[in-house]
Structure 1
Amino acid sequence: HLTFLHPIFAKHCLLAKTYSYAKDIIENDIEDFDRQVNVLDFLLYHYYAGMLAIGLKDYNKALNYFRRVITTPAKVISAIMIESYKKYVLLSILLYGQKQPLPSYTDEIVSKKLNRYENCKKYKELENLFSHVNMNSNIQRINKLSSFQTKNNAGLAKQCTRAYTRNVIQKLTQTYVTMSFQEIAKEINLTDENSNEIVEHHLLSMIENNEIFAYINHNNGGMVSFYDNPERYDSNETMEKINECIQTV
């Protein structure tokens, strides 16, 4: 039940960076509204809730909140909608590697004005570059992300660069069995003197998080061998997890 207090509470949690205080509220979808609630209250609450969800690292939830702001029927585009659109583009790339299409019920007026708005121009370019039909190379995309200058979304843009870079490395494991650090650096557009160290950092972090399965050999400037998931799904740990799942059903 949305009240006029919801956006006020969400804003103060955001300013104080006490994201966890709002967790129970933003986890639940609000279906009905108090009579005193107006459109501005609705937009502000969902925008702040999206920001809080980012603070809690719940990017899917944040994406949904910003989507609700963008799809709100309106005759005039508000600053809240514009900022929500910007974050929606970046979160789409962060989560899926490409811009997620807006629902068919999105107001046509809103869609057209967002596309034409000068403040959204570079985000639209980013959206087009990462569209499914666009065949730009990974290097072009990483270049665009790493050089993307934004005042309020710098942290999100950096996370996009990191996530897309790792996505490229994951795809390399499906094509190659062995690669040198230099070859990987070329694929993810690293030309720095310390490119080998950066590649190794990515690889070690991804191995630790079970994002890839690989063995690193430091001979010949650094080599990595990729292999399939070694889990045979019959270990004691796996059987315990299966039993836990069965018991909760």
Structure 2
Amino acid sequence: MSTDSAFSYENLAATAKAAPSGTTAFHSTLVPLLKSWKTPLYSFNAEILDNALKSVDANTCSLVYLQITTDALKLASTAEHVELSLAALAHVSTKVDLYQLQACPRVMHHLALALKSIGMETQEHERICQLLLAMVEQINLQMISTRHSTKSKKGKAAKTKLESLGADSNRGVRITPLHIECLKQCLLARRRQLHLQTMQTVIQVRLDAFGSLTIETRARSFMEYHLYASMVCIGLDEFEWALQMLYLVFALPARHASTIQVAAYKRLLLLNLAVNGKKAKLPSFFAGSHLRVLENNAAGYVSLADMFTSKSMGQAMSKLQEMQATLENDENWGLVNRILHMMPRHFIKRVGSAYSSVGMQKLMDITGFAFCPLAAGDPFAELAQYIQNMNDPSVVLEQPAGTTTAKDAIVRFTDARATISAAEQRSSTDCIVNEQQWAMLVSEKAKELEELCQHLSKLDRHLGLTKECVFIVKDQN
């Protein structure tokens, strides 16, 4: 340990004490020091870590805590060093200050990189994820409380405070490098309970804007966050949530398609086949030239989606087997196995668009259910069981009198509206029996549509004038 190294940390701590959060000294002295900070040590030193942490006031200088802990994580070379560094981070995680992080977000970026490296070396992904969850929860709570406190203020004072915190301040929960690394560590940990905790603490917290505390990587952070969030949702079988996350990967305007969007598009095609039984469509505002790039890079997936919607199950399963190597290389084979049981229902319901009833043999021939991995034993018995498990009132399995085998059963397809209760029918449009009632209904719907158009028009003008939208466009130019 050199004396210069000790002095460097002592100066950092002393500067932090002399520059409380929110003061001019904080912005003019401490923030520039941290932005240009380079680790003064060449090797891990437990004494310096311990002394430095003791000398810093945690209530006003959480940035310094984070910087010193980040240095320690980067220099940790033994299990003992890692243990000391993670213990220090556990102490820091409860004292994160949002105001300071907004002033110097690159500290979070360096901390996320250090934790990623430690996770790869030690494989302690669960522990690292727990630490990050604690920090993310603190940050989210401060963002939410800051947003509400700002909204409650009126007049010039509130505007002055908003401007003093910067263009990106007080907009609610925004994405940070710690949010993204938390999702990554959760996926690597492969623990269902951790997935549930991450879902509640990170994913289900509503983002108030497209914002990120790291403006330089705003678009990339937004896309990464939602791609990894979708993977956590898939791990919990929350497929509708996963679809929402994947669609948001394509929500920002861009000059070109990214590799993140290519990966998301492949998963989106597979997941939408399982959930909705058809090829996924991207938002209409997504550039056609970008879509062509995505389709070229995911040609096999697009071919599978087209085949799924126009061919039999047997051909679709054959295509999946052909693509196994590609799916494994893209790390999507596990997703296919997870959603495979959802796919036959769409082939079965598709038959109902042409037939009101059909025998099991004909249904088997049309759908190609015999080629499905679910039909391991008696395919007719498995198909009958699958239809019962669908629990869909519009697909009814009937056993004719005098027959006992599943092969002799008949499947009847009914209009879903026929299964609505009498009370629900009375409140539906089916109870409208004269032209006057229809005219009133159409008039009401037209009025609602006009109000919606006016609202969207105002929203477009609002987005065009907000700093948030300007920042997004600048990021892509």
Same fold by TM-score greater than 0.5: yes
CA contact (8 A) 2:387 2:397 kept: no
1:154 paired to 2:347 = no
Output aligned runs, 1:1-249, within 5 Å. Answer: 1-4=173-176, 5-17=178-190, 18-24=194-200, 25-32=202-209, 33-36=211-214, 38=217, 39-117=219-297, 120-130=298-308, 135-136=310-311, 139-145=314-320, 147-149=322-324, 150-151=327-328, 152-158=331-337, 161-172=340-351, 175=355, 177-180=357-360, 182-189=361-368, 190=370, 197-211=378-392, 212-216=395-399, 219=404, 222-227=407-412, 233=421
| DSSP-derived class of the 1:213 partner | strand
Aligned residue for 1:244?
A: none
In the superposition, relative to structure 1, how do residues 177 and 111 fare at CA in structure 2: closer, same or farther (>3 Å)?
closer
Question: Percent of aligned positions with the same letter in both sequences?
Answer: 21
Give, in whole Å, the separation in 1 of the partners of 2:385 and 2:265: 34
CA contact (8 A) 1:148 1:157 kept: no
CA contact (8 A) 2:312 2:366 kept: no
Higher relative contact order (CA 8 A, sep 6+): 1
Give, in whole Å, the separation in 2 of the partners of 1:128 and 1:222: 30
Once the two structures are TM-superposed, the CA of residue 77 in structure 1 deviates from its matched residue by 3.8
Q: Which runs of 5+ in 2 are unaligned?
A: 1-172, 425-477
State TM-score, norm by structure 1. 0.74
Give, in whole Å, the separation in 2 of the partners of 1:45 and 1:221: 47
In the superposition, relative to structure 1, how do residues 213 and 221 fare at CA in structure 2: closer, same or farther (>3 Å)?
closer
In the superposition, relative to structure 1, how do residues 158 and 148 fare at CA in structure 2: closer, same or farther (>3 Å)?
farther
Kindly indicate which of the two structures has a greater share of residues assigned to helix: 2
Q: Which amino acid aligns with 2:346?
A: N
Give, in whole Å, the separation in 1 of the partners of 2:338 and 2:363: 19
CA contact (8 A) 1:92 1:100 kept: yes
Once the two structures are TM-superposed, the CA of residue 88 in structure 1 deviates from its matched residue by 0.8
Once the two structures are TM-superposed, the CA of residue 71 in structure 1 deviates from its matched residue by 4.0
Once the two structures are TM-superposed, the CA of residue 222 in structure 1 deviates from its matched residue by 2.3
Once the two structures are TM-superposed, the CA of residue 130 in structure 1 deviates from its matched residue by 4.7
Once the two structures are TM-superposed, the CA of residue 89 in structure 1 deviates from its matched residue by 0.7
State TM-score, norm by structure 2. 0.42
CA RMSD of superposed structures (Å): 3.3
| DSSP-derived class of the 2:283 partner | coil
Q: Deviations over 1:91-137 (max 9, x none)?
A: 121122111211122134422321333xx121122233356xxx545
Give, in whole Å, the separation in 2 of the partners of 1:208 and 1:116: 38
Once the two structures are TM-superposed, the CA of residue 65 in structure 1 deviates from its matched residue by 1.4
Q: Which amino acid aligns with 1:153?
A: N
In the superposition, relative to structure 1, how do residues 113 and 48 fare at CA in structure 2: closer, same or farther (>3 Å)?
same
